[in-house]
Amino acid sequence: LQLRVAVIFFMVTFPAVIESGTEAKLCASLLRPNETLQMTIYLIHNNHSRTLVEETVEEEFHRCSQFKAPEVDGQSLQEIKVQVKGESFEMTEKSRVLFKSYNTLTFIQTDKPIYNPGQTVNFRVVTMDSNFVPLEQKVRGVSDNNNNRIGQWINVSSSGLILQLSHKLNSEAPQGLYKLKANIGNRLTEHHFKVQKYVLPKFEITVKAPEQQSVGEEELKLEICGKYTYGQPVSGKALVQVCRSFWTYTYYEDVCMLSCFEKYSLTNEILLSRTGCAFPSFNISTFMNTEMESSLQDSLAVSATVTEEGTAISMVKSENIQLTFQIGKVEFLDLPKTFERGTILEGKIKLTNFSGRVIPNKMVYLFTDGSSTVTVQSAGGDSHKFDVHQNNKLLYQEKPLQDVPGKYSIEVKGSTCVSVQMALFYNIPTPTETSTLSVKAKTEGNCTKSFGNILSVNFTVTYNGTLASTNMVIVDIKLLSGFTADPNELKYSPFVERVDSKDDHVIVYLKEVLRNTPMNYELHIKQVLPVKNLKPAVIKVYDYYQTNDQSETEYSSHCA
How does residue 227 score in pLDDT terms, banded at 50, 70 and 90?
very high
| pLDDT at res. 103 | 75
Instruction: Give the residues across from 203 on adjacent strands.
Output: 228
pTM above 0.85, yes or no: no
Question: Taking 90 as the threshold, does the pLDDT of residue 206 lie above it?
Answer: yes
Residue with more model confidence, 341 or 350: 350
Task: Pick the more confident residue, 257 or 487.
Answer: 487
Provide the mean pLDDT of the chain. Answer: 83
- Long-range contacts of the stretch 427-432 (C-beta < 8 A, 24+): 427/535, 427/536, 427/537, 427/538, 427/554, 429/538, 429/552, 429/553, 429/554, 430/552, 432/550, 432/551, 432/552
User: What's the rounded mean pLDDT across residues 99-120?
Assistant: 87
Q: Which residue has the higher pLDDT, 8 or 100?
A: 100
Least confident of 233-237, 256-260, 468-472, 498-502: 256-260
Of the pLDDT bands very low, low, confident and very high (cuts 50, 70, 90), residue 79 is very high
Lowest mean pLDDT among 122-126, 146-150, 292-296, 441-445: 292-296
Q: Give the pLDDT confidence score for residue 545 in this predicted structure.
A: 82
The pLDDT of residue 165 is above 80: yes
User: Which residue, 70, 67, 92, is CA-closest to 81?
Assistant: 92
- Confidence at residue 35, expressed as pLDDT on a 0 to 100 scale: 85
Pick the closest to residue 399 from 408, 478, 414 (CA basis): 408
Provide mean pLDDT across the span 292-313. Answer: 86
Q: Decide if pLDDT at 76 tops 70.
A: yes
pLDDT digits (tens, 9 = 90+) for 271-298: 999 999 999 998 888 777 656 677 778 8
pLDDT of 290: 57
255 has a pLDDT exceeding 50: no
Residue 262: Cβ within 10 Å count:
9
Residue-by-residue DSSP string for 191-244: EEEEE------SEEEEEE--SEEETT-SEEE-EEEEEETTSPBPPEEEEEEEE-
Give the strand pairing for 299-308 and 314-324. Answer: antiparallel
CA distance 86 to 207: 85
**5 has a pLDDT exceeding 50:** no
Residue type, 455: L
Cα–Cα distance for residue pair 3/540, rounded to 1 Å:
84
Cα–Cα nearest to 17, from 101, 130, 98: 98
User: In sequence order, which ranges of 62-208 are alpha helices (DSSP H)?
Assistant: none
261: pLDDT strictly greater than 70: no
Mean pLDDT within 318-329: 88
Which of 39-53, 183-197, 281-295, 410-424 shows the highest mean pLDDT? 39-53
What does the DSSP assignment read for 282-337? EEGGGG--SSSGGGB-SEEEEEEEEEETTT--EEEEEEEEEEE---EEEEEES--S
Given pLDDT bands bounded at 50, 70 and 90, which one contains residue 459?
A: very high
Is the pLDDT at 532 greater than 50? The verdict is: yes
As a 3-state breakdown, the chain gives helix, strand, coil percent values, each rounded to 5, of 0, 50, 45
Q: What is the pLDDT of residue 185?
A: 65
d(CA 464, CA 516): 5
Residue 495 has phi, psi (to 5 degrees) of: 65, 5
Q: How far is CA 139 from CA 179, 181, 188, 225, 445, in A?
A: 12, 6, 10, 48, 59
For residue 344, list its beta bridge partners.
Answer: none
